[in-house]
Structure 1
């Protein structure tokens, strides 16, 4: 997913891209970036100051903003940035700050994935629909935990342990954060994480809730 998901994820690189990327103007540090691909929007949510770079503490802040606990947010900030930093900075020397370059997000796309993002990080509608056609057997527009397990198993590529782990972590975190009271992960939520809109929406809902307490 990130990502894909998740985000931005620390997945193994298929490196679906050549390292060159168009420039995109950043505006204010959230994920409403003009000219960004869907994958870049997903990653840019964690770019809290809008400078095009995501540091581990920003990943932590992003996860906290959507309601994730301190421990999980800290672990995510460490592992995601360690996994993606060098992949998104081709030709650059190692940095102990583990920065992720938003414009090169596509270079972190990992194996054993759904292919909902193409090699440039753009959303592929047909691949997204395929997830639910193949795996949503109980409910047409939602996935159960068991169906997610089957999806992960189906997408596994031989000898791709890093990709398996990344995909598992992404889907499990997404399910934990976004499942409904019946344990279902809705199609709308999955689409949101892929198109870069979900985390921004979750942050807004959380802030609204806190204001009304």
Structure 2
């Protein structure tokens, strides 16, 4: 069950009316839990499970907000992103018997949120499993300056190369996902390393970013 105690960051927000109602509903009502089998999670489930802060199988808007803040995003970006992500994915991943409104993301149904114009490193045919061959192709095709890392222009090239001309609605998601990862995880020389890219698919890069931010705060 989601804790009803607000974090200092959440409590200090000045939110638009719709977003405020959304967050207050989650805080006041809580939600049911879902079974979570971490050992047998797909790569996509692991990718999003970082944002399941209490590890109950269901991600609330508050948890997504706190997850974005934890990896280094500012409050405004985290608030707006949490609202838009849940508005898009909540209805898609909610079972029919979930309480209204369908704004929570259910990890066991996250495969419903798969989109086109991606790298193919996640199998889109229902399994959402990691595909090593497709992952290696990212660097074979696009890593020209260094074989084990991507520059900003190489990330943009990769995104453009993977666009599905028949699915224009899927073009924006990779731009947001890769843009944020590059901004937060690239090194001081502008390289997004292979291990960081690998960490996108299993969510481990988010854990590292949170640890890095925690050390910076302590310093």
Could you tell me the TM-score, scaled by structure 2's length?
Answer: 0.78
CA contact (8 A) 2:119 2:138 kept: yes
CA contact (8 A) 1:144 1:183 kept: yes
Alignment partner, residue 81 of structure 2: 76
Aligned-residue RMSD, C-alpha: 1.9
CA contact (8 A) 2:71 2:213 kept: yes
Alignment partner, residue 138 of structure 2: 131
Q: Which runs of 5+ in 2 are unaligned?
A: 1-34
CA contact (8 A) 1:41 1:196 kept: yes
Alignment partner, residue 114 of structure 1: 119
Could you tell me the TM-score, scaled by structure 1's length?
Answer: 0.80
Give a deviation string over 1:38-92, Cα, whole Å, max 9, x none. Answer: 2111111101112211111111100111111111111210111111112212545
The answer as to 2:187 corresponding to 1:180 is yes
Q: Choose which of 158, 161, 169 in structure 1 pairs with 2:168.
A: 161
Q: How does 1:61-100 map to 2 (within 5 A)?
A: 61-91=66-96, 95-96=100-101, 98-100=103-105
Aligned length: 184
What is the alpha-carbon distance in structure 1 between the residues aligned to residue 175 and residue 185 of structure 2? 15
Pairwise CA distance, 1:142: 0.8
Alignment partner, residue 24 of structure 1: 36
Q: Which runs of 5+ in 1 are unaligned?
A: 1-22, 26-32
Q: State the structure with more CA Rg.
A: 2
CA contact (8 A) 2:185 2:209 kept: no
What is the alpha-carbon distance in structure 2 between the residues aligned to residue 146 and residue 51 of structure 1? 39
Alignment partner, residue 53 of structure 1: 58
What is the alpha-carbon distance in structure 1 between the residues aligned to residue 136 and residue 195 of structure 2? 11
Alignment partner, residue 34 of structure 1: 39
Q: Choose which of 202, 208, 212 in structure 1 pairs with 2:215.
A: 208
What is the alpha-carbon distance in structure 1 between the residues aligned to residue 95 and residue 141 of structure 2? 36
Alignment partner, residue 48 of structure 2: 43
Kindly indicate which of the two structures has a greater share of residues assigned to helix: 2
